[in-house]
Amino acid sequence: MLADLGLLYCALFWGLSFPTMKVLVGIYPACWLLFLRFSAGSMMIYLFFHRRINQNFRSVINGGAIIGVLLFVAIATQTVGLNYIGGGRSAFISAIYVLMVPFMLWILRRVFPGWLTIGAACLCVAGMYFLTGGDDLTGSVNAGDVLTVICAFTFAVQVIAISKYARDCDPVALSFAEFVSFAGMSLLCSLVFESPEEYLSTNGLPELVFTIVFATFGCYMMQIVAQKYAEPSHATIIMSLESVFGLVASIIFLDEAVTSRMLLGCALIFVSVLISELSPYIHKRS
């Protein structure tokens, strides 16, 4: 239950960060913004947990590097893909990772995840279809679609990798290694592809602080800690509530319009979370 609440915390603050990120991407170059988020986040983790990190860092370097690189590839391909496709199309294709995870686990572990889990994942993806706007999903396949499919696949692999490494090592130290590797990749790409003249902006500091403290330091570390105890398929369905919270935040802070189609999508995602939460009890009774 505590792990589920931790994942719900991640979904909540990732969703609440949608409006702040919309402000920040208009101020900072994308890779530099990611570097600021994860370098500051790694400093915060070390400040609060330096003893645990010093004791366990050597044992988590490889796992943290793999998780950090996977996360960077997922976010980078999603960001570049947005240059070719609309936001709704990108959000829906990215959400397919919720459906990929149980089938990938089935292949890797040779254990059928159960019809309830697969049904909940399908229902969640259907909810994302309505929430993100199905009308934007028509048309021919282009480079943006391919990049976003790679994003979804990489997200799925990252969730499974977190589950694998978090169970065998200290999750806080693993989070620190993830943050450091992600920050390094972001800085490298920023120096290669972006202009240093854009680094020194002081606008959007409240939004940046909120994003670093809650949506980066708090959420990504909490995800790893929670996935030490939560199954990957179950975790992805709970984290999909990020889109619902993001819609609510956009309505409140950005005055975005809401439609009956979006409300239907939110309802389907919510039902999928309920099914995922109740499935262990249903299995016990049956």
What pLDDT score does 179 carry?
96
Q: How far is the C-alpha of 240 from the C-alpha of 66, rounded, in Å?
A: 23
- Highest mean pLDDT: which of 10-19, 37-46, 271-280? 37-46
Span 206-212, mean pLDDT?
Answer: 92
State the maximum Cα–Cα separation within the chain, in Å, rounded to a whole number.
Answer: 63
Q: Which has the minimum average pLDDT: 37-51, 175-189, 192-206, 260-274? A: 192-206
**225 — pLDDT class (breaks 50, 70, 90):** very high
What pLDDT score does 62 carry?
93
Query: Which tens digits make up the pLDDT trace of 107-145?
Result: 888 878 888 888 888 998 888 888 776 555 555 677 878
What pLDDT score does 85 carry?
72
Q: Which has the minimum average pLDDT: 71-75, 98-102, 278-282? A: 278-282
**Predicted confidence (pLDDT) at residue 22 exceeds the cutoff of 90:** no
* Helix, strand and coil percent figures for the chain, each rounded to 5: 85, 0, 15
Residue 260 backbone dihedrals phi, psi, to 5 degrees: -65, -30
Eight-class DSSP state of 41: H
What pLDDT score does 90 carry?
74
Share of the chain above pLDDT 70, in %: 92
Residue 125 backbone dihedrals phi, psi, to 5 degrees: -65, -40
> Nearest to residue 30, comparing CAs of 194, 196, 202?
194
Q: Write out the two tokens for 86.
A: 């609309």
